[in-house]
Structure 1
Amino acid sequence: MPADRRIGFPPVVDAATRLLILGSLPGDASLKAAQYYAHPRNAFWPLIGGVLGEDLTVLPYEQRIDRLKARGVGLWDVIASAERSGSLDAAIRSPEAADLRSLIDGLPALRAVAFNGKLAAKLGRRIIGDVNGVRLIDLPSSSPAHAVGMTIKASSWNSLTDIVST
């Protein structure tokens, strides 16, 4: 059975974005809900909430996005579209890269780009290259498919606190 072409979401950023978090490509639950990190077992919202010191999981999606933007956090993916059956990164075929360089060039306050998972880091670093004054940070994936305990994930994600607290 051929894989369907999946198309990602537009970036969630504004001129005040200091931290850009890049995933690979939204999974099926996210695409169906038209929301970043919509799978109920994806740890993204608890993890970023821990970084911000706010429980974002209790808020409706639109308010979660508003809180991220108010704190200088943006979201996007390194892949604009790809063929994929299911939601696993390992199933991605024929990826089309997102125009990360143009996005980053248009974010004057950007201090760091964090990659949510290994594939996002591998592809994102290749696309972005070096950007003066912008830290590149690899994080363990928030996906439930990445079988690392929440404590380990949170320890790595909490390294973002200094970026959003200033």
Structure 2
Amino acid sequence: MSAVTSFNPISNQSARVLVLGSMPGVLSLKANQYYAHPRNSFWPIMAGIYGFDAESAYETRVEKLMASGVALWDVLHNCVRAGSLDSAIEAGSRVPNDFLSFFQQHPHIKHVVFNGAEAEKSFNTYVLPHLNVSGITFTRLPSSSPAHAVSLEQKIAAWRVALSD
């Protein structure tokens, strides 16, 4: 197993929604891009909701996301994990990102959505007890991972409802 470190957040000062994953997978880390695995449905979900081409250049997709008021980050700053699966994260190795600073720098965020169960579990365990947040809604959504066997249409529908607030 090896130690892995997440990316900096994708965000701007006008972000209203924060999408949280757990930790980037191996292909994403190699590409230095969020959700780089070709079978991950994150970008098709966002494209379906916000009306851009999921196949456009990464920088274009990031710009469209930020223009839509969406910030993107991971709960964990680093952890020890073999491969890409959340289930492979070594117990006791989870170190969260600095959400206290993030929320101070992004006062317009009113909704945090978790991209799957591990992101929610890690946030509730390692982050939430150390935050004093009010006025923020938290929602777990179906994971965009190809390991989560729900159709793309079902994922888009669930994400659209949560992100329409």
User: What residue in structure 2 maps to residue 124 of structure 1?
Assistant: 123
Q: Distance in 1 between matches of 2:27 and 2:35?
A: 8
Gaps of 5+ in 2: none
User: What residue in structure 1 maps to residue 19 of structure 2?
Assistant: 21
Gaps of 5+ in 1: none
3-state SS of paired residue (2:61): helix
Q: Where does 1:11-160 land on structure 2 (aligned, <5 Å)?
A: 11-52=9-50, 54-93=51-90, 94-126=93-125, 127-128=127-128, 131-160=133-162
Amino acid at match of 1:91: A
Work out whether residues 101 and 128 of structure 1, in 8 Å CA contact, stay in contact via their aligned partners in 2: no
3-state SS of paired residue (2:164): helix
Identity between Structure 1 and Structure 2 (%): 42
Amino acid at match of 1:159: V
Work out whether residues 21 and 113 of structure 1, in 8 Å CA contact, stay in contact via their aligned partners in 2: yes
TM-score, length-scaled by structure 2: 0.91
3-state SS of paired residue (2:45): helix
Amino acid at match of 1:59: S
Per-residue deviation, 1:123: 1.3
Work out whether residues 51 and 160 of structure 1, in 8 Å CA contact, stay in contact via their aligned partners in 2: no
User: What residue in structure 2 maps to residue 9 of structure 1?
Assistant: 7
TM-score, length-scaled by structure 1: 0.91
The runs of 4+ residues in structure 1 deviating greater than 3 Å are: none
Per-residue deviation, 1:56: 3.3
Work out whether residues 52 and 64 of structure 2, in 8 Å CA contact, stay in contact via their aligned partners in 1: no
Work out whether residues 15 and 106 of structure 2, in 8 Å CA contact, stay in contact via their aligned partners in 1: yes
Per-residue deviation, 1:51: 2.0
Per-residue deviation, 1:106: 1.7
Aligned residues: 160
